[in-house]
Amino acid sequence: MDTTNCYHCGDPCEKEHLVFDDKNFCCNGCKTVYEIFSTNNLAYYYEIQESAGATPKATTNKFNFLDNEEIATKLLEFNEEGVQVAQFLIPHIHCSSCIWVLENLNKLNSGITTAQVDFPKKKVRITFKSNQITLKELALLLARIGYEPNISLEDYQKKTDKKDHSLLYKLGLAGFAFGNVMLLSFPEYFEVGEFWLEQYKHTFRWLMFAFSIPVVLYAAKDYFISAYKGIRSKLLNIDVPIALGILVLFLRSTVDIIMDWGSGFFDSLTGLVFFLLLGRYFQQKTYAYLSFERDYKSYFPIAVTRLSASDQEENIEIHQVKKGDRLLIRNEEILPVDAILIKGKAQIDYSFVTGESEAVLKQSGDRLFAGGKQIGAVIEIEATKSVSQSYLTQLWSNAVFNTNKASNFQTLTDAIGKRFTLAVLTIATLATAFWLWQDPTKALNVFTAVLIIACPCAIALAAPFTLGNLIRIFGKKGFYLKDTNTIERLAKIDTLVFDKTGTLTTHKETEITYHGMPLNDEEAALLKNTLRGSNHPLSRSLYDLLATYDIKTLDSFREDTGKGVTATYNNNTIKLGSASYTDGRNPESSETAVHINYNARHKGKYLFKNAYRKGIEKLFTSLHSKYKLVILSGDNDGEREILEKKFPFKLPMFFNQKPQDKLRYIEQCQKSAHVLMIGDGLNDAGALAQSDVGIAISDDINVFSPACDAILSAEKLNALPSFLGLSKKSIQIIKLSFVLSLCYNLIGLSFAVTGRLEPVIAAILMPLSSISIVVFTTVATNFISRKL
């Protein structure tokens, strides 16, 4: 019976074996998956990539162990109020259609909230509601659609991931074969006429063939797989010409020794694969180095408040938190570790983890998960484990906070690579056709040399190595970026919007005076404990100024962003904030003040005379010549005259801006400009997230802010022009790398098409070109950043 390919997985099947919806399927499993997709509006899966799926396996009893609650709990990253988060390793993830269908799992089951695929690691992180779908049912659902998760409890319990040494094995094999083939080829090179060498010449050739087989089938298999998937997806990736060159070399060499035409090109073949793998190994090691340089401990400047046995507060770096430490968590601060609530009433917002914004109420003794944000009064917790750097890194890059800030430069790199591959194949075909007509003996050498020498690997390496090295340099200088894409967007910025309080000003040198009725000890103690829970710069300044009182657990605490704070204790209510918020007098006053209302009675106000950060005048003067500058402040305009005197030029200044006002202003600016927002990460969260690039200024207190794209140490604010300038220069380095790579390829091609370049020399030069690009970008970025 005639055969055709299965519509789902692409495997051969009998035409009449299984037919559904005018489509052929090799088994009931593939037919079932198609039915699931088509009935849940996921048929677009087959338009992305034809026959992309895998045949589902029978897994009825395979995941029964997940019925054990103790085992299932160990596999969960998060488990709170019916919302659970689990991460699965799915080996079958291999293409864009896999990503698409896995990130649309919510269409298959309403209990699934979100799914986020980590393509390089072949993992998917799924948030789901446990009352609608269990962990076992989730695993079975994945298996039914051909994405069976690989669950090993031992893997989850190990502290370190298994390292993949396959590239090292392949490199060793290719090097061993290359050395032996070169040795066996010496008599052919020098045309030695010795009797015994002539007698065993054919044996040597077949030995070279034998050494080449594992090189082609094992060491080079990744290039064939990648090329096949690219062609299957109708994409010409950079591995297509490489795989074609390897295949042509092997087939031609095999024909040569069978027909006794010569020794073939097994030396060139094994040398090509060896040097390709050597270049890939170098790239992998360099990426590992960059990853190490971006380790969490040097990446996030997040501080937490640790309490000593005598309740003394100290700010420590987050990686110093150990199991058993008592930590103080204020309003809007993130829980850095899994912990037990010791004191206070917690309202935990887990939207950083799950996307669900409804706060969860917790009492003393309850377990709290890392990543939750406290909303309300200050709480004390006891850490049950040390900081998980990978988990917090994952929080910052959570899809919940990812906006569409696409990488145009990466699109340019991909476009160049695609066009370059097409051009290489065209040149190789035309050059080979010419030499077949002119001198057929050179045709094969020309074809393989062109394919090898013109690989666009160097083009693909330019951007990641340039930006990766620069992000490492920035981190060492106090400027911590979320990802390399942030540098690309920084290079396009033309408008800078500054918050005032906590950004241009510093609470360290603020002059504070009190005006109003004196506060008794009870009122002052409640004021101190209320301020203790707030992270606003004015609150922190006032808290440090006031005398020490006994720590009290407030009955209630609420901070209204941009307005003030309300707290109650023993039926006493205190309100701190703006005049309008506390019913203070003279609400039209232009002064910077914190008003106090105690039990519905206005008591007085603390006046703040802002101390601006040193060098602000020089900073703005430096930026003014290249960028449009704007000041956007939530405070009143009492500082307008002072700011106007500080700068010898006029710039737009807007005051009394609520958080939503700031966000709308950024939106309006983005219609005609690329906007950088610099704020303190508190009232500016919306504006930071909306802007093309959002930078949170970090002082002594560092609040984790997924809304921002970068964190800048406050003492490095004056270096902002240098950071922006280096971002622009980094893009110039990438473009120059493109030019150098193209020049190299044009020179190499001129030798290759004329038949003057041997394939083995081309195989050596190709990885050297990639290495030279990496060296150039590293040296160039280090050179331009030497003045930081």
Share the mean pLDDT of the chain.
Answer: 77
Question: For the chain, what percent of residues have pLDDT higher than 90?
Answer: 14
Question: Band of the pLDDT at 704, cuts 50, 70, 90?
Answer: low
CA distance 10 to 147: 16
CATH of the domain at 570: 3.40.1110.10
Question: For the chain, what percent of residues have pLDDT higher than 70?
Answer: 74
Question: Band of the pLDDT at 48, cuts 50, 70, 90?
Answer: very low
Whether residue 169 is contained in a domain is answered as no
Same-domain pairing of 564 and 487: no
Whether residue 745 is contained in a domain is answered as no
**Is pLDDT of 293 > 50?**
no
Same-domain pairing of 581 and 483: no
**Is pLDDT of 172 > 90?**
yes
- Residue (of 212, 242, 211, 249) closest to 225 by Cα position: 242
- Residue (of 63, 59, 54, 61) closest to 146 by Cα position: 54
Tens-digit pLDDT profile for residues 240-278: 777 877 887 788 889 888 988 777 778 878 887 887 787
Same-domain pairing of 43 and 131: no
CA distance 781 to 56: 49
Whether residue 750 is contained in a domain is answered as no
Tens-digit pLDDT profile for residues 68-107: 777 788 788 788 778 888 888 888 776 556 676 788 788 7
Same-domain pairing of 676 and 627: yes
Query: Which is more confident, 460 or 260?
Result: 260
Question: How far is residue 473 from each of residues 467, 594, 696, 726, measured CA to CA in Å?
Answer: 10, 40, 18, 11
Same-domain pairing of 623 and 671: yes
Tens-digit pLDDT profile for residues 644-669: 888 888 889 998 888 888 888 999 99
**Is pLDDT of 163 > 70?**
no
- Least confident range from 61-70, 485-494, 701-710: namely 701-710
Same-domain pairing of 24 and 112: no
CATH of the domain at 342: 2.70.150.10
CATH of the domain at 697: 3.40.50.1000
Whether residue 445 is contained in a domain is answered as no
How many C-beta atoms lie closer than 10 Å to residue 586's C-beta?
A: 11
**Residue 701 DSSP code:** S
Same-domain pairing of 575 and 622: no
Token pair recorded at residue 678 = 């610099």
Whether residue 573 is contained in a domain is answered as yes
- Among candidate residues 577, 612, 647, the one where a domain is terminated: 612
Same-domain pairing of 20 and 80: no
Domain extent at residue 7: 3-48
Residues in the chain: 788
Whether residue 478 is contained in a domain is answered as yes
CA distance 115 to 91: 16
User: For position 512, what pLDDT does the model report?
Assistant: 84
User: For position 294, what pLDDT does the model report?
Assistant: 40
Same-domain pairing of 8 and 130: no
How many C-beta atoms lie closer than 10 Å to residue 493's C-beta?
A: 20
Say if pTM beats, i.e. exceeds, 0.75: no
Query: Which is more confident, 763 or 334?
Result: 334
Same-domain pairing of 308 and 341: yes
Q: In which residue are the tokens 């910077």 written?
A: 592
Whether residue 475 is contained in a domain is answered as yes
- Among candidate residues 575, 597, 612, the one where a domain is terminated: 612
Strand 3-5 to 12-14 pairing: antiparallel
691-727 in b/e form (b: 16+ CB < 10 A) is bbbbbbbbbebbbbbbbbbbbbbbebbebbbbbbbbb
Which range has the top average pLDDT, 23-32, 246-255, 514-523? 514-523
> 3-class SS at 630?
strand
Cα radius of gyration (the chain): 32
How many C-beta atoms lie closer than 10 Å to residue 237's C-beta?
A: 20
Whether residue 513 is contained in a domain is answered as yes
C-beta of residue 671 within 8 angstroms of C-beta of residue 625: no
CA distance 225 to 228: 5
C-beta of residue 524 within 8 angstroms of C-beta of residue 604: no
Same-domain pairing of 686 and 657: yes
CA distance 786 to 771: 23
C-beta of residue 117 within 8 angstroms of C-beta of residue 123: yes
User: For position 296, what pLDDT does the model report?
Assistant: 35
Segment 585-607 mean pLDDT: 80
Segment 585-603 mean pLDDT: 78
**Looking at the 3D structure of the chain, how many domains does it have?**
5
- Among candidate residues 123, 157, 191, the one where a domain is terminated: 157
Same-domain pairing of 92 and 144: yes
Strand 346-349 to 360-362 pairing: antiparallel
